[in-house]
Every structure is written in structure tokens, then in C-alpha cells.
Amino acid sequence: MSACLPLIQASRAIGSVISTGDVVIYESTVYPGATEEVCIPEIEAVSGLTFNVDFFAGYSPERINPGDKTHRIVNIVKVTSGSTPDVADFVDQLYASIITQARTHKASSIRVAEAAKVIENTQRDLNIALINELAMIFERLDIDTEEVLQAAGTKWNFLPFRPGLVGGHCIGVDPYYLTYKAQACGYHPEVILAGRRINDQMGEYIAGRVIKLMAKKSINPVGAKVLVLGLAFKENCPDIRNTKVIDLIGALGEYNVDIDVYDPWVDDAEAQQAYDLKMTDTLTPAHYDEVILAVAHEEFQRMGVEGKTLVRVLITGVAGFIGSTTAHRLLERGDEVIGIDDLNDYYDVNLKKARLARLREKPGFSFHKLDIADATAFKQVYQSAAPQRIVHLAAQAGVRYSLENPQAYIDANITGFLNVLEAARHIGSEHLVFASTSSVYGSHTNMPFSVHDGVDHPVSLYAATKKSNELMAHTYAHLFDLPVTGLRFFTVYGPWGRPDMADEAWNPAKPDPATSKDALGIKAIRNLMPLQPGDVPDTAADVSDLVHDMGYQPQTQIAYMQQDKDQTILVTGGAGYIGSHMCVELLQAGHNVLVLDDLSNSSEKSLQAVERITQKSLSFVQGDIRDADLLKNLFAENNIHAVLHFAGLKAVGESVAEPIRYYDVNLNGTLKLIEAMAQAQCKTLVFSSSATVYGMPEKMPIEEDTSTGAINPYGRSKLMVEQALMDLHQSDPSWRIALLRYFNPVGAHASGEIGEDPNDVPNNLMPFISQVAVGRRDKLSVFGDDYDTPDGTGVRDYIHVVDLARGHLKALQYLAQGPTLGVFNLGTGNGYSVLEAIKAFEAASGTSIAYEVVERREGDAAVSYADPQKAQRELGWQAEYDLARMCEDVWRWQKKHPNGFSD
């Protein structure tokens, strides 16, 4: 009964304020019968009222899952019950008014609802206990449990549980409620208690495994430094009730291990009060013999610290292109970074400051502005920071500049590097990594350049100083036993790069670069010049030693993942509105393009226009993605390395009238495509999803982790495809999949040669407006002007179709880095109302748009716009075009083609 004490106290409090006719609803997890046997008598005793005469009770078990951003109160099925039939109806209707995206399930009695709740967690507890016991068995058999589970998970009905600690105030406790009641009625449960015994001993079992691993590494556990990451009972929540991490810590303590516990989710005072545990405030750079990832918080997974050592790293040249990127990667894995840079004006200082601003947002980063040629200042910072490792990138770069300013190269590259070496020698360093350059190969003509080739004839002062750096590093390593690694960089490109090494203009307002042509409005003129002093005609690296000695193979390709010329990208639905613009971007980026389209809602003329725009050819096959034989032949006859999947039906209203057709084309068609890809070992896929998967979200802007809950067959078909692809990646992690949820594509290609040409009456706002402007439609229907928005009309996030296509290219580049699954919103992050869109189009076209306000459409949200920060951060993509540009391009297309491709 002690476990019911909080409920007893709460019931007494209710009893002191309850009135005749009131209904008390309980949500706490209890054993069957507890509400009516324990709680109700307390209310009666305090209030003097009679149950089911003067007051009544309901029960609806709480189902919120701490840390779960998907299953929330509005979209989970709620079990309801009441002490009388009328009360049961009342309770059910009450919850039905709250659970707007799911439904309720009315149980016949409170006891049934109580039992349903308690067995939910009991079942999970037993499933995890089974996997925990299997892990113990497989350890003795020297079999990798995770590999076994991945293999078994390929069976469609295998339950994906994982071994680990089972704590919290639900799964770890609820089975005991049930066994207590079972024993009270004369039954001794065996299976449930057996599962509890296994799970209760997991802390001790894991501690034993850690000690064994330490023994294999010849680490004495007595006094060994161990970092335990996480104290909460589960990931991404602060709840420490009944956390089994405490059992793990206690078991390790019996071996006299020196333990630090770090969990940014947990309140320090609560941990101290509940477990007399003082947690470490920060991830300190001290060396740990072992790191235990006890709780899989997202930030821990991003750090990649499982089994790794956290270190303090000094980076010189941290505001530079390579330095800032390196710092980001180290900070993301949990290291501390001390950055040094003099912020010279060799190129745009504002760009360097913008890089620093991004770094300063991350915990564990500090910055010192100083010149490494200043020995005193550098030594002071080095002594204060006490770095374990050094990444030395600060240097005066550039071949031609060295001819004009030789002293700058002597100061930064020679004197500065000497100061770094001296600090590492006298104050200490576990490892020094420094940047050299491919320029040291000079006029060498043996291609590709190998680390075994001679570097005795540099042809620039810059190269000569870097060659000197290599000699200095070799000497210090030999004389003073200083661990040093030199890296000869070739030509480095990427986001936030040097503006003098790319055709990109950096804009402080939009720091993710736009191409110079778009930013400046002019096209660059190529001026072919002879080689200048210090230039070399060709460079290419032989990376075989890098792969052999360091196990690192560069993967990311330059400029939208340039592929071998023989490789092809398949674009399904490539003749459609978005697909045709995608083909333009792909061809202009140098890709071979194969289009598959059934032309049910598109025209082959769009592809002819694509070839005119790009002056390049593509391949086209008319066919249906549900045709398995056709797909098999396409992959057999073409070297397809990636698929951009646009093909599908997309009208919301039509999907309501013809749901089976939508599931057949959108879901079944995608499954056929995936099967063909898998057979051909083509595992790179960018899927055209939609913001409709979010249904009716409660808050704006919409983030990727906003609850999904499509409210029409079209949206549900997209969501089902997403889930199928997620399950595919779960079963086979070698897939590279990007799910792009875009909002409202509008606009057209600047040439006016391709644009949106819907069959029959347009379903989307902008093509309807443009058809009114050219006289194809009499007027526009505005669905409602009484929304809670500034002008009463619906607000949407409109994105230019060219921006959208470029987002797909960024997704391809993202997938080129390795197997992954990413979900991204593609939108501007700005909402425009229907009336704002009309006014913008009128301004762009010089025409007046006739419209009338009609009734709202059922299911339309008042406001919907994206939070695109994840795509900006991880894809390096940002929408560039505003609403005015969208309208200008739509109008240009519509004027040239009043009847679309029928003209």
C-alpha cells in the first residue's frame, strides 16, 4: 500500500473540496481495483459524500511517453471508463474533445481500464527481459547481440526491442502492482516475476561487463576514471525516478572505480536529494579510461562519444574555413575547443567573424584573438588552456600573395609555427597535427602526388615555408619525442569556404552562400590567362597511405556530388512541375539524367524545354512506377546510382474521392521502386514528401519533430511511404535516404519555358491566380476570410520551385557522405496570406485579380509555415527567392504559355 500513498494523499485533498454531483477522474497507473478499493474510500471519509450517489469517478490511464516528441496528448488513443454507464459516456466525450487527432476507447469498467494500463508496461518489461537474457546468452557464445537483432529484424513481425537498463516509474514498477494483486487473490505469478528479476540485475551485469573489458585492456579498475553519460531513466527526459543507472554506478563503485556522472537533462539538486549523487557540471577534458553511454540522449548520440576519450583541443586559425569546420566536428563529439585567430584581412573579416559567431553558440568553445607570431601572448594562452592536443592551421596562405608580401609568410608560417612547437615541447602536448600543402610538390609532374615523392623544388615562397614547417616538425619529433602528424592539403571547397576560391558571394545577411550569378545579377566572364609565377598546371593526390595508415577515405564529392560520367540519376515524375525544374538543375550540375514519367499529369514538352534551357540532352522513358518489369529493365540497362522520386498523385480533394488509387500509386508504386533499387544495389533515394504529413499542427513554425498526423488520404499515403522508408533503413542501414517535406512550391524557371501546368482546374493558389490573370478563369475563390490571421485569410509558406530543386541537390550531396536517413523541411520559414499572395502577383503582373470570398474548406489550417533551420544547418541549404520573385517568374511563364504546354 505504500506505493499508493501519493494517491491516498491526493484523494484526501480532493475529498476536502469535492461537491455533490462532481466527477473525479484518475489517470495514475495502479493495480486493477485500486481506484475503487483504495482511493474512493478516502474521498468518502473526508467529504462525507457517498460514491455513485453524491459523486462519481472516472479512470483514463495516462499514456504520455516522456521524451517522445511524436506521440502526444492529441494524437494517442485514450482509454476511458466511468463508475456508471452515464459517467463513462461523460468521461469518454470529455477526452474525445481533447484527443483531436486520434480517438478514444471506452472500457466497460474502471477495473478493465486499470488492467489495460498495467499490462501495457508489463508486456514491454517482459519483452525487454527476454532480450536482456538473450544478450547474456550471446555474450557467453561470443556472438554480437546487435548483429543478431539486426538479422532477426528483417522478419516483418519481429519486435524491435534492445537490451539495456529498465527503470522509471512505469515499466520498472507496474509489473509489481499486478503481481501484488495476483498474490492477494491467491495466484503466484512466475513469468512476470522472472522478467523482473532479470531486468533488476542488469545494472550489476553491465558493470561486470565493463570491468571485464577494462581487464582485457590491462586497466586496473581501482582508481580508474570512468565517465557515465546519463542518469535519467530514459533518453531525452529529466525523470530520474527508479533509474537503474544508479544500480550500475553502485556496482562499479564496489570495484573502487573513480566515477563521474554527467547528464545535462537532470537537475543537480534532485540527483543529490534522491540518490546522494553529485554530478559533474560539464564534460571536462580529463582523460577517462572508459566512457559508458548509459542513457541515449540525442546530444550524446550526436557527440559520438561512446567508447571515446574527451579531450581539450587547441586550434590555431579557428576562424578560417578549415579551422571552423574542424572545430564544429570536435565540439559535436563532445570535445572542448580553444580557438586562436588573428582575424587578419587577407579575405573578408566579416566572414571569419560569422564563422566564430556560429562556434560561440556551442558549449565548450572559447576564443582568443592573437597573432601566433607573438611568442609571449601565445605562450600565456597555451599555459592557461593546457590543451592535450593541437591542430595547427593558422598560416598565411596563397601563392601569388607570397610574391608580394614575403615577410607575412616568414612571420606567420615560420615564426608562428616555431612558437607552436616550442609550447608543445616545453608545456606539453599529446599530439600536434599541422597543415601543410600540396604546393610543396612544386613542379613535380609525376601524377598523382604521393607522400613518397620528393619535395625539394618548391616554386613559391608559400610552398617553401610549408616545406620548412615539415622539416621543423620532423626535427622536433626526432629530438624531443614530440608526436606530430603533418597533412598536405590539396584544394579544399565546401560551405562557408574562402570567397577567393569559389564562384560564391558571401552575404552576412544570408551567410549560407548564394552563387555569384544570383547574388550579383550578372554572369562571370571567363578570362583565360597564362600560368602565373608559383602556379602549377595540375594537382592530384594519391591517398593510398592515408587509407592504409589512418583508415580514412575521402568520400564527399565536390559541387553537388559530381559523379562518374557513366553514372545516371533516375528522376521519377521528371516531366512534372517540380521534376522538370529538377532536371534543369541536375543537367546544369553535370549529371546524366533519366526520366520516368507516365505523363498522366504532365507533358513531354516540358522535357523538350529542359533540353533547350540547358543545351543538354536527357533520356526519357514513358511508363508507370508500378510496372515492376519496366523498373527492372531500367536499372539493368542504365548505371543508376541515385533516384529522385517525385512520381505520384497529389490532389487532396481527389484523394478523398479516390483513396485506393492514391494508396496504389503513391505507396504501392514506391514499394515497387524500392524493390527494383534493392535488386540493382542502388541505395540512394531522395523522396518527395509533403508538409501535409503534419496534419493540423498546434504550434508554428513546424519542425521536423512536430507530431505527424495526416488528415486526408494524400497526406497519409506520403506518411506511409515515409514510414516504409524508415523501416527499410532500420532493417538495412546501408541505405542513403532523404525525406524532404516541402511546403507550397510556386514560381517557374526564369526563362519562362517551364512552369506549373495543371490538368483541369488548378488545386493550388498560384496557378489559379495566374490563370485568372491571363483570362482562363473568371475569378479566384478565397476559402474563408475569418481566420485568426492579420487579414483573415489563410497563411502558407510558399517556396520557389528552383529553390526546392536546389534543395534536392543539397540532399544528394548530404547523402554522398555515407549511409543515413534524414528528414528535412524545405520552406522559407515565412508565412504569406492569400491576400498577400494576390497583391504580390498583381504588383508583379500589373493586372488586377478578381476574387470572391467563399466558405472555408474543411480541414484547412489557418496558418502553416516551416522551420527550415535543420536543412540550413545540415544540408547547407537556404531558400533564396522571395514572394515577389516567385510571382514574377510565374507571370513570365503564364504570359508565354497562356494555355500551358498546349500552346
Q: Give catalytic residue positions.
A: 170
Chain CA centroid to CA 852, Å = 42
CA distance 143 to 137: 9
Question: 757, 603 in Cβ contact below 8 A?
Answer: yes
Cα distances from 204 to residues 136, 165, 255, in angstroms, run 12, 10, 11
CB 880 within 8 A of CB 514: yes
* CA–CA dist 645, 665 (Å, integer): 12
In the chain, the N- to C-terminal Cα span, in Å, equals: 81
Please answer whether residues 714 and 651 qualify as being in contact, where contact means their C-beta atoms are separated by less than 8 angstroms: yes
* Bridge partners (DSSP) listed for residue 487: 435
Report the DSSP pairing between strands 592-597 and 832-833: unpaired
Length of the chain: 903
At residue 569, the 3 state secondary structure works out as strand
Query: Who's near 303: CB < 8 A, 6+ residues apart?
Result: 332, 333, 334
- Mapping DSSP onto H, E and C, the string for 599-612 reads CCCCCHHHHHHHHH
Is residue 852 within 8 Å of 779, Cβ to Cβ?
yes
Q: How far apart are CA 491 and CA 510, in angstroms?
A: 25
- Beta bridge partners of residue 824, listed in sequence order: 740
What number of other Cβ atoms are within 10 A of residue 436's Cβ?
A: 19
CA trace torsion 684, 689, 691, 695 (10° rounding): -120
Q: Tell me the C-alpha distance between 314 and 798, whole Å.
A: 44
The DSSP-derived string for 524-551 is PPP---PPPTT--S---B--HHHHHHH-
186's CB contacts (< 8 A; 6+ apart) are none
Point out which residues pair with 104 in neighbouring strands: 78
For the record, the C-alpha cell of 428 comes out as 606539453
Looking up cell 593526390, which residue turns up? 541
Residue 705 neighbours by CB distance under 10 Å = 13
**Separation between Cα atoms, residue 360 and residue 11, nearest integer Å:** 50
